[in-house]
Every structure is written in C-alpha cells, then in structure tokens.
Structure 1
Amino acid sequence: MPESVNFDRMADRYDETRGGEERGRTVAAALAPHLLGETSPEHARLLEIGVGTGLISAAFAELGWSVAGVDLSERMLAHAAVRLPGRVVRADATALPLRTGTVDACIAVHVLHLVGDQPAVLAEVARVLRPGGRFGFVGAGAPDGSDVSEVIRAMHATLSGSASRRDAADTVTGLAERAGMHPIADHTVTAGGHTATPLEAARQIELRTWSSLWDIPAAKWSSIVEPALEALRGLPNPTETRPATIRTPCLTFENRAPGRSVREQ
C-alpha cells in the first residue's frame, strides 16, 4: 500500500501554481449547493481533508460555513492557519480527530490520489458525517486543448502507462458505497487554471511542481520528461501565454451508514 504524500516541499509555491484564492472561490461556489441538503450555510459544519493552504475552506467560510481542515503537511498548515486561525490541525485522514456524526459535509479536492489507504479514509469520512451528511469529491481536471496542455497531457499519460488514476470516478464511487455513502450528484467545475507560456510550463516541470514528478527514476525522466521539455521549448511563440481552462469532475455522496470508526470495521 502506498504511503500518503506530504506536500511540505510545495508549501511556499502552492498558491501561485494552483490558481490561488480565485480558484478556491470557484470550487467552493460549485460544490456548496450540492453539499447543503436541508442545512443552511450559517449552520453547516464542513470538514476538508487535505486542506493544504486553506484556499477552498477559506472560500467556504466566506459563504458562511463553519469550517475545519486536516492535513499531513505542517508547512502547508502554517499557511492555512493564517486564513483559518484555530480551525486547522495536523492529522492523518485515516484517523480523523472528530467525534462520530459531528459534521454536515466533508470535501476532498484533488487529494484522494495522494492518500495511502483510500478505503480507510472514506470509512472515516462516513464515520464523522452525520446521517444524511454529504461528501464532495473533486478529481483530476482535464485542461483545455492548447498546445502546452497537450504536451503536458501526453507526458503524464506516458508516465502513468495503462494504470488508471487512484481517484478515478468509478474507483471513488465504489469505495464510497462500500463505506455507506450513496452517490447523488455528478457534475463538472470549469475554472481558469494557471496560465503559462511554453517556457514557463517547461520551468514548472523542471521544478517538479506536480507531485507525479517528484519520485520519477532518472531513466524515465530522461526518456519521457526531457522530450516533453524539448517539445515545449520548440512550440511557436514560446513566450506567449496560453489560455488555461480546466474542467474537473465532481461527485457528491450522501451518508447512509450509521457512524462507526475504522477500528470497528
């Protein structure tokens, strides 16, 4: 079983490479209507797994939600604590520091592919949600068809081979249902991504901005990543910014299971 990924190394660059506060507000606005049910925002308690620097939870707080967040990264949490003082804590999502049935909604945005034990995490989500509480999942986004995004998409596809993403919608749905959460909504968030020129995109790859690049063996880097870097540098108008629109799949589940801890499974 893989270990959960810690984002300490990205803490100081995360906001500028992941869309910043604008992205947080876009995601929160898209998710909130599906998470409310019969609860008004002024009385809704939200937990974010993998809260990171707090971009999305802070946007939910602006909408009137009572928010809390957990993350493995101390350095990411240092940024989140500025946005959400007293409402974030370092914790593993397989052992959430909350009582059973105490939150109205839980979200996991671009994080489930990073956790080691996915079944345990989703079981914990079901445990802390109240009966009828909702879980919002946001998976991998598909960028627009610009020449830069096509080079990057092809690079990632070659790196992953035939393996499907661990946060593929059918995988998450199966695990959520096993934990007692029933799918009730399937929609897409369309948001602006991090705009970049071909040369800037190449630089972000060299800096290993995405976690999928962190532990690539030297042979793979040479045979797959280096050709992608050359392709980016060879694109027409390499200093011209390309548009960045990302369409991201989102699923919402309703908790149908009585609260129980992972240890009781």
Structure 2
Amino acid sequence: MRRRPPGYTRHMPSRPPSADRLALRDRFLTEAARDLLAHDRRLAGLAVEVTFDGGVAHVRGEVADERPLMLLRELIGRLDGVYAVWDWVRVAGREPVVLDLGCGEVKQDPAHIGVDVRPTKAVDVVADVSAGLPFRTGSADRVFAVHVLEHLPDYLPLLAEIRRVLRPGGLLHVLAPWWRHVNAVADPTHVRLIDVQTIKNICRMASFRALHAGCDGATVFADLQPVGDRHGPAWDAEWEAVHLSRFFD
C-alpha cells in the first residue's frame, strides 16, 4: 500500500472548483443560509443578510449582542462547501473596527483599515506588520491576514500582536496559498508553505481556536478566535475534539 505523506488529508480537493461550479454553489449556500434564518427559532429576528462569494459567507446587518451572531456563524459553518464566515455586523449600533493587514492595492472591504509597508491608495496606516501593530490593545473587532503569513519567515510574533489588538469576541481571518498549488511556489517572495494542518499548529502554538478551517484546492482558509475569550463558544475538551475533527487529522 502506498504511504500518504504526513499531513495528508483524504478529502483535500486536488484542484479548485471551476468558476461555474463556484457560482452555482454560492447560489445554493445563499439559499441555505436564508432557510436557516427563516426557520431556526434560535435565529429569529436577526436583522442580517448572508451571501456567498467563492464559498465564503458574507454576513451584514445588525444585532443587539454577539451571542446570536456567534451561533449564526457556527450554523453557517456547518454547511457543506463553506470555506470561511466573514461578517461586517453592527453590534448594539456600533460599526466593527476591521484591520486589513498587508492589504496592498486592494482591501477586502472599503471600510477596512488598510495596513501595509508600502503606501498605496488602499493603505490607511503604513507599517511593517512583522515588527508589531500600531494599534491599541483590544481595539479591533476583526483582523484580516490575507496572503500575509506565507511572506513572513516567522509569523508567530504577528499572531501574538493580533491576539493583543483583538477585543473580546474578536476574530482573525487567514487566507494563504495551499502548499500543493502552484500559487504557493510561483511567487519568489513566499517563504512559508501553508496547509490546513498548519492552522492546527498555529492554534496550538499561538493560542487560537479554529472556528472554521478549510481548503478549496488552491487556498487555505481559517477563522480563528483567541483561546480563553469569554465571548467564544463554551466547549469542554471532548466537544472541542469533536468540533476540530471536521478540519484536522
């Protein structure tokens, strides 16, 4: 029997889905999310809208407090084909503060605070994220690190800084090229290879909990929350193992 390499996941896609399939699946997932909001009594009255783009849920609207929002995130994340859950939801009337690290020329959303070492039209704060984040402790609701970690020889200090600036209930969204896809090695500025199993060890070494993690055959996605966050799900050790078995060996 042929041996599988360490970290191999049986169900890892061999290639990304086609654009046509992604568009059709996004339509299906958007309708499934509408059904959740319409028929799950635990979500009754939530003034939010959920749409999908490339398998990533985009949640917008307003909630009175974060508990139903976290439940909605969990339920959406259970749907097959969901790679990540991103939200821009006002909580008790307050707009979220979102940092977009290494944003380059384009932020993930125009309302984000763009951070990059090179000044561009998208950059609001010029800073080298590998040298620390120029933001107050507990000042950010969400942090996006999209195609950032693979450029850093050591990204654990950055993850510690992200933990520091996230307020209670805050989340980190990570995207990185999957190590088996050509995008991971085509860019000579990439110095790290990322797999879904890498996310597992990021959680262990940097004290994050994976709310969601996945790979579409080209990109690794992860939604992470600091361990010990009192706003996070109250899992015991057994249930946490059950939850994480969806993503990690």
Q: TM-score, normalised by structure 1?
A: 0.46
| Structure (1 or 2) with the greater strand fraction | 2
Looking at both structures, which has the greater relative contact order when contacts are Cα pairs under 8 Å and sequence separation is at least 6?
1
Give the greater-gyration-radius structure (CA): 1
| Structure (1 or 2) with the greater helix fraction | 1
Q: TM-score, normalised by structure 2?
A: 0.49
